Amino acid sequence: MVDVADLGADERARRLAEEARPFLAAEGFSNQRIDQLAHAFVARGLGGDDDFTAWAMSEGWYTDPGS
């Protein structure tokens, strides 16, 4: 796991997305959705880096048109 605690928000989101991409893509997530979720996770301060994949899975591979 890359230690991204001291990076800026955009770089942290990019690294989280890249690290989780192989797993999430295999689960049906598009690259765009993975990037969107990573940026949302960082912007909202939703947890530590180890929490991102589980959170992304709970959010789902689809984009809610009402959000």
- What total of structural domains would you count in the chain? 1
User: Which token pair is 18?
Assistant: 């890249």
d(CA 40, CA 38) in angstroms, rounded, equals: 5
In a domain, 65, yes or no: no
In a domain, 4, yes or no: no
In a domain, 3, yes or no: no
Let me know how many helices (H) and strands (E) the chain has, helices first.
3, 0
The 3-class SS string of 17-33 reads HHHHHHHHHHCCCCHHH
Helix spans in 1-67 (H)? 9-26, 31-44, 52-59
Give the pLDDT confidence of 17-65 residue by residue, as tens digits.
999 999 999 999 999 999 999 999 999 999 888 899 999 999 998 876 6
In a domain, 39, yes or no: yes
* Domain range enclosing 33: 9-59
In a domain, 32, yes or no: yes
pLDDT for res 2: 47
CB 55 within 8 A of CB 46: yes
In a domain, 46, yes or no: yes
In a domain, 1, yes or no: no
